[in-house]
Amino acid sequence: MKKNGILNSEISKILADMGHTDQLIIADCGLPVPNGVKKIDLSISEGIPSFEELLNLMMNEMKIEKAILAKEIKNKNSDLNKRTVDKLKKSDIEVVYIQHEEFKEQSKFVKTIIRTGEFTPYANVILQAGVLF
């Protein structure tokens, strides 16, 4: 039995299977999941678990080289945007912004979308796997 880190077996398997440049999404409860993309639904109730809780765990478990956010988060959820960008940049992770419609298009190509209980707008991030060497 795994004793620390992310205990969810589906998430652990996804992370173990990811290679350099593969992507996954941490999503709020409203992001649509395209047909054919695996969804891991962790949402229990409003705010549980939060976007930030899952991002913190993923940053400990995954080598991330780039994070992609919707530009709209800057105006529609500026506090979360600031906390997220500060955390990512502190870990030397490149941060890129794209339009939300482009974000949803990109979601068709990710390995999985992990749905949280987050109830704030544009609380979604694409995490791109880095390489350890």
28 close to 116: Cβ distance less than 8 angstroms: yes
Q: Measured between alpha carbons, how far is residue 94 from residues 11, 91, 113 in Å? A: 23, 9, 20
| 28 has binding-site annotation | yes
129 is in an annotated binding site: no
Q: What kind and span of H or E run contains 111?
A: none
Is 20 annotated as catalytic?
A: yes
| 122 is known to lie in a ligand binding site | yes
- State the angle between helix axes of 51-61 and 78-90 in degrees (0 to 180), rounded to the nearest 10: 10
Catalytic residue of the set 5, 7, 13, 20: 20
Q: Is 16 annotated as a binding residue?
A: no
100 is in an annotated binding site: yes
List the binding residues for substrate. 28, 100, 122-124
**Which residues are part of the catalytic machinery?**
20
